[in-house]
Amino acid sequence: MYRKKNLRKKKLKKKNGDTDFNARTVSKYLEKELGKSFVVVNVKGAGGTIGSRKVKDAEPDGHTVLFFHNSMLISKILGLVDYSHEAFKEAGVAVLDKACAFVVSADSKYKNLQDVIDQLKKEPKSVKFATEVGAFTHLQVLAFQEATGTEFNIVDVGGAAAKTAALKGGQIDVIGTQYGLIKQYIDAGDFRCIGILADKPVEGVDAKTFKEQGVDIAFDKFYHFAFPKDTPDEIVDKFTKALEKVVSSPEYQKDISKYYLVPSYMPPKEATEYLNKTEEFYNTFKDKILEAQKNNKK
């Protein structure tokens, strides 16, 4: 979530997770285009629904804009909220992350996806997978289970930073996360990526895709901007034009490419169609997501 104010820009920190990192990165360039300072406000809790609701109910004066991702669509399916992206005025998709990854500790006995599948076939629920119930990685693990006929011991530990800490602390066997977030741990010899959920190999990522390993699933993570529904069109149009310039700029593209992200500007109409199509796909997992949510409450 953003609040646009004339405040000093805070130093970029990547430790809060992928949404925070992407928000702070794009805000650096939007500030230059719009001539306004941006304050990134991390609103945690309930898979991001507290933050999305704050923006939905905010004054439609152009001073508040939501920066969010796939979890908004999943939250509606879970019944955590009674709204989805249609409750906002879409301002456009900025970037896609095609390097969603399953990651283990470097000393793990699991060298690839097949090792994990074999273990789960032998002993269902014997492998702990960290996620946040209702979040994007939750959908990924459910899709993996359906595609492979396996069942993890799914543990709700929280967001991206919490998952990384749980794996580093040896409390979890596998996490779902973004490759760019944990590359430093791979380089340091702490973690190993056992697969990425991409349609094709991603340049710079030293790991096979799920499809290359016989698991026919793929997920992109999108990051988009949305204003309160009644925000005047002229405000959203100005923001959208600035966003297009930012995403097209070589400086921004170079900045995010270091984290295996793909600049992918989509204007409001195209972004809305993309979100509708993605939500339709996610709804095919509705029963399994609701079942997992029910089991998590027991």
Angle at CA of residue 297, ends 161 and 48, nearest 5°: 40
Provide the residue-wise pLDDT of the chain in tens; the chain has 298 residues.
Answer: 544 433 233 333 344 678 888 999 999 999 999 999 999 998 877 778 899 999 999 999 999 999 999 988 988 887 889 999 999 999 999 999 999 999 999 999 999 999 999 999 999 999 999 998 777 898 899 999 999 999 999 999 988 889 999 999 999 999 999 999 899 999 999 999 999 999 999 988 999 999 999 999 999 999 999 999 999 999 999 999 999 999 999 999 999 988 889 999 999 999 999 999 999 988 888 887 777 666 656 5
Indicate the helix (H) or strand (E) that contains 278. Answer: helix 268-282
Residues 13 and 154 in one domain: no
Structurally, how many domains does the chain consist of? 2
Residues 239 and 270 in one domain: yes
297: in domain: no
Task: List the domain range (segments joined by +) for residue 202.
Answer: 100-219
Cα–Cα distance, 144 to 58 (Å, whole number): 37
Sheet holding 153-156, edge to edge: 153-156, 128-131, 174-178, 100-105, 191-196
- Identify the pLDDT of residue 296: 59
Residues 269 and 180 in one domain: no
Residues 193 and 252 in one domain: no
